Amino acid sequence: MGRIPTRLAVASLVALALGLPPAGAAAGPRAESSDPTNAVGTLIDTVRVRIVDNAFRPRTITVVQGTRVRWVNRGDNPHTSTSNKDVWDSGLLDPGEAYSRVFRREGTFKYHCSVHPAVMKGTVTVT
């Protein structure tokens, strides 16, 4: 992932100037929330995954801890983003609808569309 997203770089500089840990640094346990900021008040970066008929694009992504992943259904049919290990389930997303989740733990998270589980699979790797 060689390049740091601009918002993360700016947030890190602001945090350092205020004497806080850089953005993306572990700040202790945090509860899942719809708040678009992390524990030090900086904006959370968002990575988008398009859901098209019979595919997630991109199929595999790698993000840093604290990144929000947003699945947007751009297909013509309903789909889901459903964790293989019951970590999350978007529920049925009609065309045009979206679902977001902040990944706060490192790991590899495999997921699928529960409507089309044999063909629609994806992976989020959190570093």
Confidence of residue 3 (pLDDT cuts 50, 70, 90): very low
Condensed to tens digits (0 to 9), the pLDDT of residues 72-101 reads 999 999 999 999 999 999 999 999 999 999
Domain range enclosing 113: 44-127
C-alpha distances (whole Å) from 27 to each of 8, 44, 76 are 15, 14, 41
Q: Is the pTM of this model over 0.85?
A: no
Rounded Cα distance between 20 and 13, Å, is: 10
Is 10 part of any domain?
A: no
Q: What is the arithmetic mean of pLDDT over 64-71? A: 97
How many structural domains does the chain have? 1
Condensed to tens digits (0 to 9), the pLDDT of residues 9-27 reads 555 545 555 454 444 443 3
What's 57's domain CATH number?
Answer: 2.60.40.420
Is 17 part of any domain?
A: no
- The mean of the pLDDT values for the chain is 80
